[in-house]
Amino acid sequence: MDTAALTEKVAAKAVPIYIMGKRYEVPEALTIMKAMEYAGYQYIRGCGCRGGVCGACATVYRKAGDYKIYTGLACQTVVEPDMYLAQIPFYPANRATYDFESAEPTPETVFKLYPELFRCVACNACTKVCPMDVEVLDYVSALKRGDLKAAAEISFDCIQCGLCASRCMGEMAQYHIAQLARRLAGGKLAAKAEHLGKMCADIEGGAFADLLGGLKSMSVDELKKVYTEREMEPHMGADEWTPASSHGLA
Ligand code: FES
Q: What's the CATH number where 39 sits? A: 3.10.20.30
Task: State the Cα–Cα distance between residues 41 and 74, nearest whole angstrom.
Answer: 13
Q: Which tens digits make up the pLDDT trace of 57-77?
A: 999 999 989 999 999 999 999
Whether residue 149 lies inside any domain: the answer is yes
Say if residue 205 is in the same domain as residue 98: yes
User: Of 42-46, 169-173, 237-241, which range is least confident?
Assistant: 237-241
Confidence of residue 113 (pLDDT cuts 50, 70, 90): very high
pLDDT of residue 8: 59
* Domain containing residue 172: 91-216
Number of structural domains found in the chain:
2
Ligand 1 within 6 A of CB of 43: no
Ligand 1 within 6 A of CB of 49: yes
Whether residue 16 lies inside any domain: the answer is yes
- Name which residue sits closest to atom 1 of ligand 1, judged by CA: 50
Task: State the Cα–Cα distance between residues 204 and 19, nearest whole angstrom.
Answer: 52
pLDDT of residue 249: 40
Whether residue 7 lies inside any domain: the answer is no
8 Å CB contact between 41 and 19: yes
Say if residue 119 is in the same domain as residue 177: yes
Whether residue 2 lies inside any domain: the answer is no
Say if residue 172 is in the same domain as residue 100: yes
Any idea what the CATH number is for the domain that residue 162 is in? 1.10.1060
8 Å CB contact between 126 and 162: no
pLDDT of residue 159: 95
Ligand 1 within 6 A of CB of 53: yes
**pTM exceeding the 0.85 threshold for the entire prediction:** no
Nearest to 105 by CA among 7, 195, 187: 187
Please spell the DSSP secondary structure of 8-24, one letter per residue. Answer: HHHHHTEEEEEETTEEE
Task: State the Cα–Cα distance between residues 111 and 217, nearest whole angstrom.
Answer: 52
Q: Is pLDDT above 70 for 10?
A: no
- Name which residue sits closest to atom 3 of ligand 1, judged by CA: 52
Q: Which tens digits make up the pLDDT trace of 226-248?
A: 999 887 766 555 455 444 444 44
Whether residue 5 lies inside any domain: the answer is no
